[in-house]
Amino acid sequence: MANVTSEENMAYAAVYGSVMVFGLPLNAMSLWILLQRHSLSSSNAVFMVNLALSDLLLVISLPMRVYFFATGNWPLGIYACTFITMLFFNNVRSSTIFITFISVDRLLAVVYPLRSKLLRTPSNAWKATALGWLFVVLVNIPEGKNFYKDLYRCNASTCFSFPNCTVDSTAALYFQCALVVTLLAVNVVSTAMVTWTLHRHLNDSVRLNNKVNVMLIFAMNLIMFIIFFLPLSVVGLLNNVKPALKPTLCLASMNCCLDPLLYYFSLDAFWKKKKEDSDS
């Protein structure tokens, strides 16, 4: 990697290092609280546990990124680089999927509270998350093969610098962009429907006594999509994964530091023992 001590590369190392330092304890603590105090007794908690696991997988892929951008060296070979890169891209896809599951779950809880009772069960939530993980892994297989071919044709030492001698990945880029835009549209529609319902029941303090928290959940979901996920998908497509991919990847990694706020606002009494979480 040319000019490995450049300010740009050191900036990448600093950002990834900061995400690792904050993301690891925040998500580990959030996962512990979700498992110990919310007992996976609601669909919402199940989705959040999987989102926290996804973020932790991202975090464990960051130390070698920090090392690479700080030194310009990749000592672990092609297979390790491919695996760590796929862990990173997996987080982008799994995070968008699980965040969308959380939005739809909140939509059903607010707009269709009675009719959705039988649908919003932990069992169904686990089935949905299993399908989400399976989807991510299946997408990962061809993408990982293409990335491996790139490194093999160029040089394993290039790793996260994305060399110019790449294979055609237009289909994968279109797919990534279409996935993020589609899930963003689901979040926008969910936000609109919940906002309309909350406005209609503005004085209903019994059923909708946490309106501010509910709207914060949807606002945060939209912010994470628009700021962290959408630029990576659109810029990667328009620029053929070249100069703009590294900064948008760096930006996307920051989402794991904000997800713990989502858990706090999504679950009543997040820090306390579970009371009626299954009804939230």
N-terminal to C-terminal alpha carbon distance within the chain: 50
Check whether 199 has a pLDDT greater than 50.
yes
* Fold entry, domain 7-271: Rhopdopsin 7-helix transmembrane proteins (1.20.1070)
Separation in Å, CA 193 to CA 6, 43, 112, 202: 48, 20, 11, 14
- Quote the pLDDT of residue 277: 44
pLDDT band at 171 (very low <50, low <70, confident <90, very high): low
Tokens at 116, concatenated:
């959705």
Section 19-34 average pLDDT: 90
- Quote the pLDDT of residue 166: 52
Section 50-70 average pLDDT: 91
Check whether 270 has a pLDDT greater than 50.
no
Q: What is the pTM of this model?
A: 0.86
Cα of 42 vs its chain's centroid, Å: 20
Check whether 261 has a pLDDT greater than 50.
yes
Between 153 and 64, the higher pLDDT residue = 64
